[in-house]
Amino acid sequence: MERYHFSIIIPTYEHPTGLVACLDSLTNLDYPRHLFEIIVVDDGSQTPPKDVVAPFCDELNLMLLTQPHVGSASARNAGAMKATGAFLAFTEDDCTPAPTWLKKFAIRLAESPDHMIAGRVINAPRGNMFTVISQLMMDAAYVYNGRRRKHHFVASNNLVVPADRFRTLGGFDTSFRLATSDREFCERWLQKGYQMTYAQEVVVEHAHALTFRDFLKRHFDDGRGALRFHSVRARRGWPRLSVDPKYYLHLFSYPFSHIHGTRAFLFEALLMLSYIAYAGGFLWEKIHRAMTDRQSSSGSSAILQ
């Protein structure tokens, strides 16, 4: 029997300061305390955040789980296994939900209780150009797909799903250790015939400042994860994804409608650089897999001889 309306699940790893800010924001939610629980899942931090979580236990229905360092997808699934809410609300340890976060999710769910619903993410370090361009790319995708009334992918740092449907699908695929577990989950959701909605009024702030190195690595890892994603799609017999030229025209024009002056050209250059890093990651993963398969095949031949 369901005990709560929402179960908020927060994976965390070596980020106690961010976790404090996240939990502090949840104490300010304009939503009845008895209708939501919070499950923090530590993904193998060197020092588990027991002391970080303890001060909030008197104010919130809060549980801390710990596991070895195996990735955020596994941490989210662990939280979902313990959750007793009808809906699972996912955020992260570098995010601070707005006070109206659950209230506005609840309004959307009253209209579409079977949908996956994703909210809007706002950058807290607004002066960090690498963070801003990464978020602009996500915003551009949401806007474009919203116009077409068909969303293909939403991020897992501001997301609600019905708990029963999440468990029916088996949760996030834990074999995706890079950055594609939420993309793969969205695809499984759609292949099942389920629907997703983007709710821009449901807001969290994302306080993750990227360096130039972080920026390149993130998009390089996205490229690596994309190869695995396409390989999994092919293995499952799902239709191939077609390239939509209109989307890329929209994406590369998007910075000019949101950033003024010469900074728009700088952001355009960063956008192009992100795709170069993405392509590099995709190619690196493809070569790495080919070499691994060749070594595996050579090893098998040697055994047979």
Distances (CA, A) of 218 to 16, 161, 229, 280: 22, 26, 16, 12
Task: Work out the number of other CB atoms within 10 angstroms of the CB of residue 141.
Answer: 20
pLDDT confidence of residue 298: 61
pLDDT confidence of residue 75: 95
Average pLDDT of 174-184? Answer: 77
Residue 303: pLDDT band with limits 50, 70, 90? very low
Average pLDDT of 265-271? Answer: 88
Average pLDDT of 159-186? Answer: 88
Instruction: Note the pLDDT tens digit of each residue in 194-230.
Output: 999 999 999 999 998 889 999 999 999 989 888 888 8
Which residue is listed with tokens 């807001």?
Answer: 203
pLDDT confidence of residue 129: 85
The arrangement of secondary structure in 4-210, i.e. its CATH architecture, is Alpha-Beta Complex (3.90)
Least confident of 179-188, 237-246, 270-279: 237-246
Enter the tokens of residue 288.
């790495």
Distances (CA, A) of 133 to 127, 178, 213, 222, 274: 11, 20, 14, 15, 9
Percent of the chain beyond pLDDT 90? 59
Q: Which is more confident, 248 or 235?
A: 235
pLDDT confidence of residue 67: 96
Residue 2: pLDDT band with limits 50, 70, 90? low
Least confident of 2-11, 14-23, 244-253: 244-253
Instruction: Note the pLDDT tens digit of each residue in 103-146.
Output: 999 999 999 999 999 999 998 777 788 888 888 888 887 778 77
pTM for the whole thing? 0.88
For the cut 50, the answer to whether the pLDDT of residue 304 exceeds it is no
pLDDT confidence of residue 297: 64
Instruction: Note the pLDDT tens digit of each residue in 71-114.
Output: 999 999 999 999 999 999 999 999 999 999 999 999 999 999 99
Residue 9's H or E segment, with its range, is strand 4-12
- The residue ranges of every structural domain in the chain are 4-210
Least confident of 216-220, 233-237, 248-252: 248-252
Phi and psi, residue 188, nearest 5°: -60, -40
